[in-house]
Chains A and B, each alone.
Chain A
Amino acid sequence: MNQVPLIEPLPPELVHEPLNWLFAEHYRHRQLCHLIERVGTATVLLTDEAHEILTFLRHDMPLHVIDEEDDLFPLLRRRCQAADELDSVLGALSAQHHDDLNRARALIDSLERALADGRAPGQDRESRRVFTDFALHERRHIALENAVVLPIARLRLTAADLRSLSIRLAARRGLLLDPQGEEATS
């Protein structure tokens, strides 16, 4: 077993900087894509990597989608201005989130089959395509969010907005932030 996780965990204190949290989470998604390509193209089954991908897709990724879909995007829709022209971008990103979750489900199925059979997904052309497609779309999606959404969020969100985002990011992960203070408790 690998002792060091292949996808780096987020430093817990980053929850106090929600936009940096999301940016760092995007970096982890890039690490995920790299891992997915490795597992998807290898001719031997990389068991540890497969388990790490499964954990991320089952837990981390759905939470990240909620962070954005149910928190950041609605808040941005309220705060952004005409010049930001963000509506259609957010609309397209939401559709991509939906597609990404569907691709993630296909990938989970493929990984579970591979682990059950002890057979590398890279040995099958169709399975390999599931892996490479996921990585391709996810990288494009992250690039758009980093290039457009996060810079506008940094510009438009107030300190109170960021604080409330932090509180909900933490709560979604089972942590309670003091609305005034800095300490998190589980």
Chain B
Amino acid sequence: MIEALLRNNLDWAATRTRLDPEYFRRLSEQQAPDYLWIGCSDSRVPANEIVGLQPGELFVHRNVANLAPAQDMNLLAVLQFALETLKVRHIIVCGHYGCGGVRAVLDGRRHGILDHWMQRVQRLCEDHDADLDAIRDPETRVNFICEKNVLAQVRSLSRNPFVVDAWRRGQSLSIHGWIYSIRDGLVRDLETTVCDADAAARLATPLPSPRRGSSSRTASRPRVPRRPEAR
């Protein structure tokens, strides 16, 4: 089974070379992508492929539920390298509908270490419990939070010191929030692009939703399943 992957690799490299004899030489000489992709680890969301980019054109960071927490050393290392060395011009946070990480938060069961990783999404669900209460279909609840999660990550990135420093230096940098549907292969722009510190400040203090009443934190029954506090 695993040997098949090595055979596939031989086939891929040979085909590439046959089609373009200079391909690997060019690729090895330089990495200069314009884009940093922060996406989900889900195997059905192949970053390069869905946006039609070749190796070398997209710097990729993936984790469960496409989170960008300011305390994650992995993310911070990627972000600093992308901004200060590669000087990417766009950061794309791309979530996807039907995310298993988000579903794990909403199902109310325990999932071990994943629960620690997903604590921010758990809080996001609690912030949106009035919205979630209006949605009866479990899958639609997941998808709703998938979108809100992308927006939250864009907001978090826009306040990240590496990003703020890049804007201070006058570096051209936009942060985009997208969502992908595995069901049709299409990306949707969630219209949350942030291009500078002023836009980031506006995004950091979102207006209360005009569509809904007061927070249902005051409501009598909890709507988002709560797990025992992770230790």
Contacts and interface: CB of A to CB of B under 8 A. Distances in A.
Interface of A: 66, 69-71, 73-74, 77-78, 80-82, 84, 86-88, 90-92, 94-95, 97-98, 168, 171-172
Contact of B134 (A71, A87, A97): A87
Contacts, number: 61
B137 interface: yes
A94 B131 CA distance: 14
Interface in B89-103: 97
B38 to A, nearest CB: 20
Interface of B: 97, 131, 134-137, 139-140, 143-144, 147, 181, 183-184, 186, 188, 191, 210-212
Contacts of A78: 191
A74 B147 contact: yes
Contact of A70 (B97, B131, B136, B210): B97
A108 B102 CA distance: 31
B189 to A, nearest CB: 8
B211 A80 contact: yes
A94 B134 CA distance: 11
Contact of A74 (B183, B188, B211): B188
A72 to B, nearest CB: 11
15 contacts: A66-B181, A66-B184, A69-B143, A70-B143, A71-B188, A74-B188, A77-B144, A81-B210, A82-B212, A91-B134, A91-B137, A92-B136, A94-B140, A95-B137, A98-B139
